[in-house]
Amino acid sequence: MQATWDLYLMGIMYFFAGIMHFIKPKAYMRVMPQFLPAHKTLVYLSGVAEIILGIGVLFPETRNLSILGIVAMLVVFFLVHFNMLRGGKHAAGVPLWILILRIPIQLLLIWWALVYWI
């Protein structure tokens, strides 16, 4: 299957999100659960992963692997979302209604990726 406009949108979205890990790493480190080690390293690694996976969805040869990588990454990111739901400093000033809304959005992003997994 040739890349369609929504695959380009998906690729650009993850590419941009990955770049943001390098532009604003402290914002990502602030919301990471304390039990995870090496926050800065994990932020940079997840940024690299998002960049590579965002590019990978655009090419038929790498699309399926990239889709699986995106799904795995989004599942792991639930750790951050649920950690932020604890409130207080964990929420990083994000209103509770947005934190709650992020859960179904995350599920929607997983579904969107799986639509293209063949």
pLDDT tens digits for the chain (118 residues)? 677 899 999 999 999 999 999 999 999 998 999 899 999 999 999 999 999 999 999 999 999 999 999 999 999 999 999 999 998 888 888 999 999 999 999 999 999 999 988 7
Q: Tokens 């989004």 sit at which residue? A: 74
Residue 106's pLDDT is 96
Domain region containing 92? 5-114
- Other Cβ atoms less than 10 A from the Cβ of 64: the count is 14
Alpha helices, DSSP H, located in the chain:
5-23, 25-30, 39-56, 60-84, 96-114
Q: Of 117, 109, 84, 96, give the one whose Cα is nearest residue 10.
A: 109
Q: Which residue has the tokens 């990502």?
A: 28
Question: What tokens were used for 1?
Answer: 């299957």
3-class SS at 89?
A: helix
In terms of pTM, does the model score above 0.75?
yes
Structure tokens at 43: 């932020």
Number of domains in the chain: 1
DSSP 38: -
Q: Are 34 and 27 in contact (CB under 8 A)?
A: no
pLDDT at 1: 65
Secondary structure of residue 92 in the 3-state scheme? coil
